[in-house]
């Protein structure tokens, strides 16, 4: 179980790299799509944005710049996963991923040609002419696609992840190999491309044999999730919030956003798989009158708790604090609430009460699940790039209009969620005397930039490494938005939670040799300082 946790944690961390590209791409796509919309231009008489104008051409460029990212997600995942999973020589892993990805699909395309399968023979019309039923024709056609112009199997993001994992394995295994003198030129990093060619050709041979079965299983799993209806949306929202405790949500939600698990829909004459991909394909299609809430059911539900619920919870914690401490904790709670509202990054608030009052987090998870269910029931379809704050709500809700998104329900139910969170948190904190900030001698210091600079000068990063058992005990170190994610060789050498609190950590999560230290938005900075200082 511990090894599974560690592996999922590492995979989730690897997924974060390609996903980090999406917010900017989504914003470009959203702005370009919104302000080149014919109805918008006509309704508000925005003649300076009309077709053919310089402004329109610039927005079209923004639109296409964003669209190409979503069109090439498999390659981005191949490179991102390879970099994330490689222990050393990450740049070599990235090259291996690109080389392997191209080789993988080239070989598959060649094998399909040997079987007489061509782009023309697997169109829906061609399959119908061959006697297939409409359902069979659509199912068969959906298994094929083009990747960077190569006709191949529709392996999508799963294919990219597979290529990335294999590229990382090859890099980890061969990048430090020393060959005999007569082959010394190919030692080390230069051996990786050679082994990439040797490993990826067999992988490409195997995929046409196993992928149709795997593909159908994934499609059926997605159909099963869809058949669960509103209950499925509730379970997804609640479970993902609970997985967030362990940082494992990053390993799960991309499968719903970018693969058939999140559904398959026809958009603009093409079959699109994955909830987020469907949303952005519809965003790019001016003929779509209302975005699909089936596609966004794994995204939209987060707006109510993130924009309205958790800020109200922060206010409840402030009101429940002892009077003498209110001025001290006001800054940190306001900052955390604003972060949640604007960006949808919730961990600064959540980790102020997770460890001192787990029951509050359980209530939060249930309320989030209810939000996902309500948004699905009300046909609200506001997509996201990364999180559910005001920024994404503006670009993919407000700018797209109520006709396409039904975003008005978020504004209607948002204040209701604020009231529910405020009174529930206030009641539970007082009833059970939870040690939230400002109560029962709980830590109530607001860390400023000056404090962080003082910590750097006093050797905080060296202290972190020391309490992890020393640099020789660190096998791998990385960070997500708020957590240092470390794999250690001997978990018994890692310091106690009390020691970590003295080093200003908000919490620690352990499983086997995996350790996550919650440092808020400074986590990435500490990781970079440790890597630079120790030459990891």
Beta bridge partners of 152: 145
Within-domain flag for 306: yes
Within-domain flag for 245: no
Within-domain flag for 290: no
* Whole-number pLDDT of residue 203: 93
Give residue 333's domain range.
Answer: 296-432
Q: Does 201 share its domain with 325?
A: no
Within-domain flag for 175: yes
90-114 helix and 73-85 helix, angle to the nearest 10 degrees = 140
The CA distance from 312 to 419, in Å, is: 7
Q: Does 78 share its domain with 227?
A: yes
Among 255, 236, 69, which residue's Cα sits nearest to residue 158?
255
Within-domain flag for 242: no
Within-domain flag for 289: no
Q: Does 311 share its domain with 214?
A: no
* Whole-number pLDDT of residue 441: 66
Within-domain flag for 30: yes
Q: Does 453 share its domain with 387?
A: no
Q: Does 94 share its domain with 142?
A: yes
Q: Does 107 share its domain with 51?
A: yes
Among 85, 109, 87, which residue's Cα sits nearest to residue 97?
85
* Whole-number pLDDT of residue 442: 57
Q: Does 343 share its domain with 377?
A: yes
Q: Does 7 share its domain with 150?
A: yes
* Whole-number pLDDT of residue 367: 97
Q: Does 78 share its domain with 124?
A: yes
Q: Among 235, 254, 286, give the residue marking a domain's end.
A: 235
Domains in the chain: how many in total?
3
17: three-class secondary structure by DSSP: helix
Q: Among 220, 235, 250, give the residue marking a domain's end.
A: 235
User: Average pLDDT for consecutive 10-residue bins of the chain (536 residues)?
Assistant: 63 76 80 75 78 90 87 92 89 95 96 93 88 80 89 91 95 88 78 94 93 86 88 93 78 84 86 89 89 94 96 94 87 86 83 83 96 96 87 89 94 97 95 87 47 52 89 85 84 88 82 83 82 79
Q: Does 354 share its domain with 388?
A: yes
Count Cβ neighbours within 10 Å for each residue of 453-465 and write b for 16 or more, e otherwise.
Answer: eebeeeebbebbb
Q: Does 322 share its domain with 416?
A: yes
User: Is 320 tagged catalytic?
Assistant: no
- Here the CATH number for the domain that contains residue 494 is 3.30.1360.60
* Whole-number pLDDT of residue 40: 66
Burial of 217 (0-12, 13-18, 19+ CB in 10 A): exposed
Residue of 62, 163, 320, 480 marked active site: 480
* Whole-number pLDDT of residue 212: 87
Q: Does 376 share its domain with 509?
A: no
Within-domain flag for 102: yes
């Amino acid at each position: 179980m511990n090894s599974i946790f560690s592996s999922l944690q590492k995979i989730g961390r690897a997924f974060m790299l390609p996903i980090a590209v999406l917010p900017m791409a989504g914003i470009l796509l959203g702005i370009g799509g919104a302000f080149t919309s014919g109805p918008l231009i006509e309704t508000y008489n925005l003649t300076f944005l009309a077709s053919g104008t310089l402004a329109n051409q610039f927005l079209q460029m923004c639109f296409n710049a964003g669209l190409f990212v979503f069109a090439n997600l498999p390659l981005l995942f191949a490179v991102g996963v390879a970099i994330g999973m490689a222990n050393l020589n990450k740049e070599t892993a990235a090259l291996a991923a690109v080389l392997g990805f191209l080789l993988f699909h080239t070989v598959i395309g060649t094998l399909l040609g040997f079987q007489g399968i061509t782009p023309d023979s697997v169109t829906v019309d061609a399959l119908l002419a061959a006697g297939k039923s409409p359902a069979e024709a659509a199912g068969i056609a959906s298994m094929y696609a083009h990747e960077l112009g190569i006709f191949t199997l529709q392996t999508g993001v799963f294919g990219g992840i597979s290529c990335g994992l294999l590229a990382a394995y090859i890099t980890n295994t061969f990048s430090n190999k020393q060959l005999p003198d007569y082959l010394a030129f190919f030692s080390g990093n230069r051996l990786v491309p050679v082994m990439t060619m040797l490993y990826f050709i067999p992988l490409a041979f195997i995929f046409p044999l196993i992928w149709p079965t795997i593909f159908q299983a994934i499609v059926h799993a997605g159909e099963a999730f869809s058949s669960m209806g509103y209950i499925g949306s509730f379970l997804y929202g609640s479970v993902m919030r609970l997985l967030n405790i362990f940082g494992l949500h990053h390993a799960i939600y991309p499968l719903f956003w970018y693969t058939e698990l999140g559904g398959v829909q026809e958009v603009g004459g093409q079959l699109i798989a994955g909830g987020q991909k469907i949303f952005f394909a519809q965003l790019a299609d001016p003929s779509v009158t209302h975005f699909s809430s089936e596609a966004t059911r794994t995204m939209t539900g987060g707006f109510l708790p993130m924009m309205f619920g958790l800020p109200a919870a922060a206010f409840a914690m402030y009101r429940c604090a002892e009077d003498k401490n209110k001025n001290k904790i006001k800054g940190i709670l306001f900052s955390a609430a604003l972060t949640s509202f604007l960006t949808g990054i919730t961990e600064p608030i959540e980790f102020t009460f997770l460890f001192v009052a787990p029951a509050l987090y359980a209530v939060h998870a249930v309320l989030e699940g209810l939000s996902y269910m309500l948004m699905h029931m009300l046909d609200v379809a506001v997509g996201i790039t990364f999180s559910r704050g005001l920024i994404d709500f503006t670009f993919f809700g407000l700018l797209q209009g109520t006709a396409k998104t039904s975003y008005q329900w978020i504004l209607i139910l948002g204040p209701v969620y604020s009231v529910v969170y405020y009174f529930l948190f206030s009641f539970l904190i007082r009833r059970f005397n939870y040690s939230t900030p400002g109560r029962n001698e709980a830590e109530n210091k607001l860390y400023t930039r000056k404090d962080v600079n003082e910590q750097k000068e006093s050797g905080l990063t060296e202290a972190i490494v020391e309490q992890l058992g020393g640099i020789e005990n660190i096998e791998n170190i990385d960070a997500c938005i708020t957590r240092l994610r470390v794999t250690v060789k001997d978990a018994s050498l890692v310091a106690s939670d009390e020691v970590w609190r003295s080093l200003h950590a908000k919490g620690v999560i352990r499983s086997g040799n995996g350790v996550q230290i919650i440092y808020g938005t400074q986590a990435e900075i500490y990781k970079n300082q440790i890597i630079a200082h120790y030459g990891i």
